[in-house]
A and B are shown apart, each in its own frame.
Chain A
Amino acid sequence: MRFSTLIKYPADWMTGSNADNSVVLTSRIRLARNLRNEPFPGWATREQRAATLAELRPAVEALPSMKDGFSQELSDLNSVQKQVLVERHLISREHAARGDGSAAVIERRQMFSLMLNEEDHLRMQAIRPGLDLRDAYDGLSQLDDELAQSLPYAFDPKLGYLTTCPTNLGTGLRASAMLHLPGLVLSDQIGQVLQAVNKIGLAVRGLYGEGTESLGNLYQISNQSTLGESEDTIIRRLERVISQVAQHERNAREKLLEDDPDMVMDKIGRAYGVLRHAWVIDSKEALNHVSLLRLGADLGFFEAGTMRLSDALLMDIQPAHLQLHSGRKLSAEERDAIRAEIIRSRLHSLSPPDIRPITRNGDSPNTPEPSGDA
């Protein structure tokens, strides 16, 4: 499969089709695996890395689910293409920085993606829309079983799957979910909630994982411990905590509408205004406004389909996606202008937010139905 075919359409998990993704956008499972008898990628020589890749790649490509998939060495992709894959969460930033001897193999619907010679020989991930870590794990675990038949995994009965970094020992499992938490941010509860999540040993990160700041009120919650607990225990705890955070978010949205509908309306209305009429907009500002548009969609202020529209925008307005769209390298100024242009054209026919049905009907507003696409 060619690169252009792969990224032509957004994956189901990006636009949340057939799943409730209003608070939990996506669920992701990552497994780290290594080969016995081969030095780990960071320590291997160029030749050793090439040899490992030559062993891994046929096994991965032969997986039934990788039929008609995308498979490419990173050195054969240009920097924009690599960055697009990062923005789509199909490869990591660390992987994109690697060249010779590293490859990406991606299932055609982008539900599974495998990084070869990342920090570990094999980093494989499954993504699903909404909160469904269990389904993501089951799918990936099966893939892992298939690979274990042809690849000699490095495994120790006591330490589990052996990984480059000891923080991944044991299950090699990182389960994470991407959450949209504008309600908790607007009501100033976010710090408190995230601190509580941290306290029970889970990690909270920004949009692109480790060391990235939160943009557009998007947060990733994931497990840190990988040794001493089964995959099932890790996933169940995470699902429980994420459900609780999602519930807090829903409560916060409801309470904001009750206590301060004018503030909520003002924020969403301003976001709508800026997005509809801006001529130059940077990535950060755009993400934050699209986030509020998304909140408005969930609260029923906009017509059905606006949630989906917001999700597509979150992806499409990022720097590499813009450059791919334009077919050339763009300066930061050019990007900001093209970003504004794309947003204006997408929102061209979107009616202004309508808050009346929710707040002007007496004193106890009902929880609004989520828009039809949720």
Chain B
Amino acid sequence: MVCDFCEKKASVFLTQLVEGQMKKVCLCESCAKERGVTDPTGFSLADMIIGGVPGHKAVVTQTHTTPPGGAKQCPACGFTLEDLRRVRRFGCSECYRTFSEELTGILRGMHKGGVHVGKVPKGLMEQQVRDQRLEELRTRLDQAVTSENYEEAAGLRDEIRQIEIHTGITG
């Protein structure tokens, strides 16, 4: 089970009744802390799921629990396919990955082309190489743990930590 917000391994599982319907959210430790899940008074699952800002022209006011018919939902922000169809906008950058199939249709005829040929953010290339490396190391770590190869796991963990310290990633 992965975290609904960042795809790390989930360790906190929450179930709450929202408008008479059961909702479930899976979080990793850091996301749980960030969203105040461990503090029962400051946390509202409804807020997390329904989104929108009171007093503001809410772009989306969705109240569905699990999307009907197993429809797609963004693991990072909870945006559903239905939301996308209604507002023709996305919930977060991860949505573009989640709804990549639908995007093809949306983009048809919208722009002069389908592939970006302009500016690339400074320093992004190095960052992407690094992120890919981290992802690969984490996958290997998971495999090592599963196969109880603890010596290799310890080595991998140290390597991941090194990269994280080097680039200032915490948690």
The reply to whether B112 and A43 contact each other, CB–CB distance below 8 Å, is no
Given contacts A42-B60, A100-B56, 5 further A-B contacts (CB under 8 A): A43-B79, A153-B124, A167-B110, A170-B111, A227-B114
Q: How far is the CA of A49 from the CA of B114 in the complex (A)?
A: 30
Which residues of chain A have a CB within 8 Å of any CB of chain B?
A: 34-40, 42-47, 49, 97-101, 141, 144-145, 148-149, 153-162, 164-167, 169-171, 173, 201, 225-231
B68 at the interface (CB under 8 A from A): no
The reply to whether A227 and B111 contact each other, CB–CB distance below 8 Å, is yes
The reply to whether A36 and B79 contact each other, CB–CB distance below 8 Å, is no
Which secondary structure dominates where chain B touches chain A? loop
Q: How far is the CA of A227 from the CA of B76 in the complex (A)?
A: 25
The reply to whether A45 and B116 contact each other, CB–CB distance below 8 Å, is no
Name the contact of B111 in the complex, choosing from A42, A141, A225 (C-beta under 8 A). Answer: A225
The reply to whether B119 and A171 contact each other, CB–CB distance below 8 Å, is yes
Contacts of A161 in B (CB 8 A): 116, 121
Q: Interface residues of B, CB < 8 Å — how many?
A: 45
The reply to whether A39 and B56 contact each other, CB–CB distance below 8 Å, is no
Q: How far is the CA of A226 from the CA of B116 in the complex (A)?
A: 9
The reply to whether A39 and B118 contact each other, CB–CB distance below 8 Å, is no
Q: Return A59 CB to nearest CB of chain B, in Å.
A: 13
The reply to whether A97 and B57 contact each other, CB–CB distance below 8 Å, is yes
Most central of B93, B94, B107, B115 by chain A CB within 10 Å: B93
The reply to whether B6 and A37 contact each other, CB–CB distance below 8 Å, is yes
Interface residues of B in 61-109 (CB under 8 A from A): 76-77, 79, 83, 87-94, 96, 103, 106-107
A-B contact pairs, 28 of them (CB 8 A): A37-B6, A37-B94, A38-B92, A39-B79, A40-B89, A40-B90, A40-B93, A42-B59, A42-B60, A43-B52, A43-B59, A43-B90, A45-B48, A45-B52, A49-B53, A97-B57, A153-B121, A154-B93, A155-B124, A161-B121, A166-B88, A166-B106, A169-B107, A201-B112, A226-B111, A227-B114, A228-B116, A231-B118
Q: Return A163 CB to nearest CB of chain B, in Å.
A: 8
Q: How far is the CA of A312 from the CA of B83 in the complex (A)?
A: 45
CB contact under 8 A between A40 and B47, given known A148-B123, A159-B96, A227-B114: no
Q: How far is the CA of A99 from the CA of B53 in the complex (A)?
A: 10
The reply to whether B107 and A227 contact each other, CB–CB distance below 8 Å, is yes
Q: Return B72 CB to nearest CB of chain A, in Å.
A: 15
The reply to whether B53 and A170 contact each other, CB–CB distance below 8 Å, is no
Contacts of B91 in A (CB 8 A): 39-40, 43
B122 at the interface (CB under 8 A from A): yes
